[in-house]
């Protein structure tokens, strides 16, 4: 039996007080959060919510439908649940993703859901992507809908979505300043194998190890930059990217305060096996089990206080 406790003395109305539902919070298998509410998925497929009702904290209107749930996703103001039969149930702020009635007949055989701040995109088993929420923040995909098939992967910034197709091409929609318009780099978006997103931009990795970026200018990297070759994986903070190259070195770009510059740590960034990004910082795991961090020192970028413990590490989480 799993018993979940929620503590938040300052903001009980925003999810910090679960007293009203505490007796239901048993046999929980996962918990998902919007900006101001929580949704707990129980082993029997039922869902328990608490917090700000306008952010999904009250699921009364759809409670009868919340059974046989297997996955819950959250936007800033709403939740979306995938049921065992592939159908979807949404609740929260109607305008910002909580109301999927306009596309409900298309939400069938859904296998995953991706959320931006104010919209959702559901990927069906047949490779089609269905969107709803605030239109210009990713909820309206009509501009690319005829090409939105054979999708393998969906990623989201705060206000836009990008889809990786089985042929290695990429589509994006939503706010252009947040990555919703990839037309300027579309000719380079071929043979893509990974999509990565920060809050305001996307980065695509091709099978040749090259990186293509689009979205907010602060998070872009020039296509002529030779350092972004032979890349094997990417990670992101809220406004920066880090690329792990095949030789074990790291290249960073974006907001310097949020990990966009690895600066004085670069000499130590060798033989790197993994990079993990939080909102404001990055941590890199070396082959010798040591961890190197950079970014905002108050938010994970400075690990000096625990550096004596950071040895023989096998995995990183943020």
- For residue range 194-241, list pLDDT tens digits in order: 999 999 999 999 999 999 999 999 999 876 777 889 999 999 999 999
Give the per-residue pLDDT at 315.
Answer: 96
Give the per-residue pLDDT at 9.
Answer: 47
Give the per-residue pLDDT at 264.
Answer: 85
Q: In whole angstroms, what separates CA 273 from the centre of its chain?
A: 22
Instruction: Give how far Cα 228 sits from Cα of 187, 250, 282, 296, Å.
Output: 17, 10, 18, 24
Grade residue 12 by pLDDT with cuts at 50, 70 and 90. low
Give the per-residue pLDDT at 197.
Answer: 98
Lowest mean pLDDT among 11-25, 36-50, 215-229: 11-25
Grade residue 1 by pLDDT with cuts at 50, 70 and 90. very low
210's enclosing H/E stretch is none
Distance between CA atoms of residues 29 and 46, nearest Å = 11
Distance between CA atoms of residues 86 and 22, nearest Å = 29
On the CB side of 163, CA atoms within 13 Å amount to 29
> What are the two backbone dihedrals, phi and then psi, of residue 199, each rounded to the nearest 5 degrees?
-70, -25
- Rounded to the nearest 5 percent, the helix, strand and coil shares of the chain are 20, 40, 40
Express each pLDDT in 52-77 by its tens digit: 999 999 999 999 999 999 999 999 99
User: What secondary structure letter does DSSP report for 7?
Assistant: B
Give 18 or 160, the one with higher predicted confidence: 160
Give the per-residue pLDDT at 15.
Answer: 64
Grade residue 5 by pLDDT with cuts at 50, 70 and 90. low
How confident is the model over 41-58, as a mean pLDDT? 97
Grade residue 17 by pLDDT with cuts at 50, 70 and 90. confident
Domain boundaries of the chain, sorted by first residue: 100-229, 230-318
Nearest to 173 by CA among 219, 214, 217: 214
Distance between CA atoms of residues 159 and 230, nearest Å = 30
Instruction: Give the chain's mean pLDDT.
Output: 94
According to CATH, the topology of domain 100-229 is Methylamine Dehydrogenase; Chain H (2.130.10)
Grade residue 270 by pLDDT with cuts at 50, 70 and 90. very high
Does residue 13 register a pLDDT over 90?
Answer: no
Does residue 137 register a pLDDT over 60?
Answer: yes
Grade residue 268 by pLDDT with cuts at 50, 70 and 90. very high
How confident is the model over 79-89, as a mean pLDDT? 98
Give the per-residue pLDDT at 154.
Answer: 98
């Amino acid at each position: 039996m799993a018993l979940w406790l929620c503590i938040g003395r300052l903001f009980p109305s925003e999810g910090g007080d679960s007293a009203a539902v505490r007796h239901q919070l048993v046999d929980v298998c996962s918990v998902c959060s919007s900006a101001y509410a929580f949704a707990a998925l129980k082993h029997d497929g039922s869902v328990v919510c608490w917090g700000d009702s306008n952010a999904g904290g009250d699921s009364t209107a759809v409670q009868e439908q919340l059974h046989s749930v297997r996955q819950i996703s959250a936007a800033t103001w709403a939740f979306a649940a995938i049921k065992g039969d592939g159908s979807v149930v949404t609740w929260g702020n109607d305008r910002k993703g909580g109301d999927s009635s306009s596309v409900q007949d298309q939400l069938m055989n859904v296998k995953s859901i991706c959320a931006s701040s104010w919209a959702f995109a559901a990927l069906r088993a047949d490779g089609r992507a269905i969107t709803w929420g605030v239109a210009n923040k990713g909820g309206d995909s009509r501009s690319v809908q005829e090409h939105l098939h054979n999708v393998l992967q969906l990623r989201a910034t705060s206000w836009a979505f990008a889809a990786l197709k089985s042929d290695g091409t990429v589509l994006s929609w939503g706010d252009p300043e947040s990555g919703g318009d990839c037309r300027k780099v579309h000719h380079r978006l071929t043979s893509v194998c990974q999509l990565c997103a920060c809050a305001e931009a996307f980065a695509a990795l091709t099978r040749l190890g090259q990186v293509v970026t689009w979205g907010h200018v602060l998070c872009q990297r020039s296509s002529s930059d030779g350092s972004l070759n032979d890349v094997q994986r990417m990670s992101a903070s809220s406004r920066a990217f880090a690329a792990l190259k095949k030789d074990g070195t790291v290249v960073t770009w974006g907001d310097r305060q949020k990990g966009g510059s690895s600066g004085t740590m670069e000499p130590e960034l060798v033989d790197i096996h993994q990079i993990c990004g939080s909102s404001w910082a990055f941590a890199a795991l070396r082959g010798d089990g040591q961890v190197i961090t950079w970014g905002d020192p108050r938010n994970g970028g400075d690990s000096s206080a625990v550096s004596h413990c950071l040895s023989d590490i096998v995995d990183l989480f943020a």
